[in-house]
Structures are given as structure tokens and as C-alpha cells.
Structure 1
């Protein structure tokens, strides 16, 4: 199993994904869900690395070896949430029962008008967060996504809601451009949602305990949060079977501070806190884990940076991000 999740090809192909979209939209969710069984069988038989990653993760979260039926259930849960994206991104919420916790605290933070960073993960469905937009349409919601990864699925889902697609911040940009786009959005009072559990190949990361073993977590989200000085809220959209979801918001910090002299140690402390909350929800909903690769990394492939590797972690200064936004605004005005 390769720890480089970006090397894995997109499953199913463009034709299969569009076929599922068409049947789901015109035939209904019931027919779409019936298709999940052959899809699950396909992944179970054909996608060996994902199958092995699932078995390894489930053995870790349950503390015992698991059989093929547990792996099949894991893949089926993932397929179910992918199907539901068609309906959630299309604004068709009527068939879902979404229990929301922590919403008053999130409303309180957003109503300040200063912008919020919403940190999610590949645990459960991030798209169920769209329920928030339905309840408070006055909120500006921007999402950070890598458009180049899974291009067929991205293109298919973008057609469902062009407004959402227009608000996406492309994570495939260079680091300063991403930071600049996020700052511009938070300056406008937007909620910026991003996934913070996966470290890209070559991206600075630090190890934190997760399900009994050190796993690499990216440092960039925490450095951006420190530079922007905006509140950070965690979000977990857990699929509970059938048409039921649990959308949980948790306040993490009103303002993250990372001292320059103890940068690595401070970021590591933040990542450890986050990893503990991620592990808590993974144990509550174990089949919602959708990182189908070797999340921990093979021991013989080397380790990620330790707290002693502070020079490798590059900070994004708030002043630099602000200056970049001002430069872009000046260019637009001159054009």
C-alpha cells in the first residue's frame, strides 16, 4: 500500500460516475442505492490496495482482525455517501434526516462577521455541511478542494450546483496563493471549509498518535489559522445508515497563536488535539473512515518530520497574505 494517496487512479471511470448520477437523479435514491451493491463488489474485487487499506484500518480501530464482510460494509458506506453527494449538492435535502449538534456555537462565531475556518476530514461526508447553507442562506461558504484529484467526480458534481463550484478555492494552487484566497474569503466574513487530515506528498507534516500509532498530519492549515487569527471550528458529518446523518460542530479555538520561537512544538500540540477528536469520532463511526490508503505510512519508508525539524516548517505571515490580497485587488482595479 502506497502512502501517496494521490497516485491512486480514480475508481469507476467517467462513464460509470455519470451513469450513477443520471440514474440517481431521474430514477430516485432508491434505485441509486440498489446500484451500491455491484459498486461495492467491484471495489472489493478489483481495487486491491483500497481493500487492504480498509482491512488494516478496521483491524486497528476494532483492535482485532476483520473479515471480508467488514471490508465490504466499509466500502458500501463510502459508496452510499458518494451517492448522497448527488442529492446534497443538488439541494435535495428532503429525503435526509440530519441531526445537528453544536450549531448555536457556530452561529455565534459566524455572526461576528470575521470569518471562520471550518476544519473537516475524510471521515464521513463533508457535503452534508450543505444543510447549514439551507438553514442560514445568508452565510458565505467557500470550500477548499483539489480539482485535479478525481477529475471525473469533480466535474460531475460541479454540474449539480454551479454556485458551489464558483465558490471553490482550488487546493492545487501553490501555498501562498491558497493562503491569499483563504484570507480574502475570511476578510469577507465567509466560512472557509477545508479537509485537514491528509498530508500531500512532500508537504510539511508532523506525526501525532492516531489509533495507537503515529500518523502524519499537515502543518499548513494550522499555520494559516495562526496567520489569519480567525476562529477554528471542527466539523464531522457522520453517515449513520439509510438516510440518517449526524453533523457535529465543535469549537476548537477563537484564535490560534503559534509563537515563532516554538513553532513546531506549538503546531504539534494543535495537531495532537485535533487527532484526538478525529480518533474519537472514528471510534464512534468506524465505517466512515474514507482514507483508503496506508494512512500511517510504512515504517521502512521513513518518518515524517519531528518537533525537532522546526526549520522545515514554513510559516505564512499575516502581513504577507494581506499584502498579496491588496496586490490582487490593485491589479483587478487597474484592469
Structure 2
């Protein structure tokens, strides 16, 4: 990854993108587990059996968005055409002098949001990230943006909720990806792409504790230099109530999110970066 970053910044994006072809070809050929997972996911999202070309497109879209992070993180987003849909919803929400939670997925590129920080009326976004991912991100890409560690709030630490609450009180957006279950998460079975999969309950429990609006976010690649950002409403306020009612409410919110993610996957299937058996754990229960 460090080599690709260096070559991309030195020789340009076309050279970096050219390097992606042999890299993607290698993983498609030799990574049996990720190839099987990609095949299973694309079969569900496309509604038919994918061919080698479609599997390669999935790998390449993933690799290309990682490469593009170099430019978004280093302040070179002007190289891209970025369409934004629903920004007024964000501004109306923030106009109440309170921040909001932004739920996304491993879909497209969360870093495209950085273009909002350079808008005429900038929007500040903090990202919630698990410690292992935050450490990996900072070690590889932190040199591109000195402010990157301050933009990331690490999950699972004693001060996590305090930092989130402080960011929201400043009228900032706190974003997190809600399509992966981690250790300690409440597991919520949801219908997703024709079968049952497990989604985390943590994002909705956090939203209920913080009592802030929740929006949905996607930013997907739709061309070599083109991204599309879309914001949608999810909940003005999440209330869970007593234990039994709270569990039922969690399940409802998780299923709504799963339906939303399914629509994104059918609309832009190569942009959901799932390279493991997403449905396995639910089927084993």
C-alpha cells in the first residue's frame, strides 16, 4: 500500500490505476475465499451468476476507491467530479445547533465526504472507527493529512462516548459504518439480499443514548473520476424504551438499515466491499 501511495503521488493517478490491474488479477486468481465471497454477493445483488469480468470489476472498484483516498486525504479532491444529493437535509439538521449521527456502510468511499469540508459552508465530519482499523489507517495514510488522527474517534475506549458527545455538542457530524458486527455487539438478524444476515445493534443504541437525529449516507464511484454522494433521513430521534420493547425497536431499525443497504447494493453492486461470507454466521445460528 505504501508503495502504491508513493508511486501515485510521484507519477500520477493513471500510473496508480494501471498498477491496480495486475494486483486485482492476483487476488482474483489466488484468493479463493474472497473470490467465493464476491461471487456469492454479486449473485445476490445482480440476480444472476456473475462472470469473471464482473468479479474483476468488484475487485477493481474496491482497489480504485482505496487509491482515490490518497487524493481525498491529501487535499486533491478537485481532480474528481462529485455530485451531492441531499445536502440541504444535512444543513437543516445542523442548523438546530446540534450535530447528528451519519450511518454509512463499506460502500464506495467515506473519504469523499472530505469535499464537504471545503465547501462554501464547510461541514465538519468525525469518523468512528475500531482501534485496529484506525491504527492501520493512520500508519499508512496519516502522512498525507496531519489532521487525520484528530478526525477519527476510536471505538471501544473509555473516552469514546465523551468525544462523540463533545463533537455533537459542537454541531459536528459523527459518522460510522453500520454493516459490520464486531465483538461485543448485539447481533440482529435481518433479511438482506434474499437471506438472513447479522447486523450490529450498537449504532442504534448509541443514537438512543445521544438523542440526536440520524441520517444515512452513501458515496459511490460511478465512473473513473466521478463520485455521487447521497444523504437520506433515517430517524429524527431513536427511542428504545423498556427491555423487550427496546429489543424489538432495535430489530426494526436494523432491518430498515438493511433494506436501505440492499437498495444501494442493487443500484451500484460493485461498490459494496464484502469479501467474506456475510451470511455465514446467521445461517450457523
User: How far apart, CA to CA, are the structure 2 residues paired with 1:275 and 1:32?
Assistant: 34
Where 2:65 maps in the other structure, the secondary structure is helix
Which string of whole-angstrom CA distances, capped at 9 and with x for unpartnered residues, describes residues 231-280 of structure 1?
A: 11110001112001110011112211111240110011111111111111
In the aligned structure 2, how far is the partner of 1:300 from the partner of 1:229? Answer: 34
Query: SS at the partner of 2:78?
Result: coil
Counterparts of 1:139 and 1:24, CA distance in 2: 28
Whether 1:109 and 2:93 are equivalent positions in the alignment is: yes
In 1, Cα distance between equivalents of 2:120 and 2:173: 12
The CA distance in 1 between the partners of 2:129 and 2:103, in whole Å, is 13
Paired residue for 1:6? none
Report the Cα distance in structure 2 between the residues aligned to 1:237 and 1:157, rounded to whole angstroms: 20
CA distance in structure 1 between the aligned counterparts of 2:161 and 2:189, rounded to whole angstroms: 23
Q: Secondary structure at the match of 2:84?
A: strand
Q: How many residues align?
A: 284
Q: Which has the larger radius of gyration?
A: 1
> 247, 258, 263: which is aligned to 2:240?
258
Q: Distance in 1 between matches of 2:257 and 2:77?
A: 29
**Normalising to structure 2: TM-score of the pair?**
0.94
TM-score of the superposed pair, with normalisation by structure 1: 0.81
**In structure 2, do the counterparts of structure 1 residues 203 and 298 end up closer, same or farther at CA, with 3 Å as the change threshold?**
closer
Partner SS for 1:294: coil
Calculate the aligned-residue CA RMSD, in Å.
1.7
C-alpha contact (below 8 Å) 1:147/1:154 kept by paired residues: no
Of 43, 68, 75, the residue aligned with 2:59 is 75
The Cα offsets for residues 87-142 of structure 1, whole Å up to 9 and x where unpaired, read as: 01111011101111001111111122211101110011111111111115643321
Assess, with a 3 A threshold, how the Cα gap between structure 1 residues 164 and 53 changes in structure 2: closer, same or farther. Answer: same
Q: 1:121 aligns with which of 87, 105, 108?
A: 105
2:280 aligned partner:
297
| Corresponding position: 1:205 with 2:187 | yes
Q: 1:200 to 1:136 in 2, by over 3 A?
A: farther
Deviation at 1:143, TM superposition (A): 0.8
The structural deviation recorded for 1:161 is: 1.0
- Structure 1 gap ranges (5+): 1-16, 303-335
**Separation in 2, partners of 1:298, 1:72:** 26
Q: How far apart in 1 are the matches of 2:13 and 2:168? A: 36
Paired residues of 2:192 and 2:259 also in contact (CA < 8 A)? yes
- CA 1:38–1:153 in 2, change beyond 3 Å: closer, same or farther? farther
Query: Contact 2:125–2:151 (CA<8 Å) still a contact in 1?
Result: yes
Range that drifts further, 142-151 or 93-102: 142-151
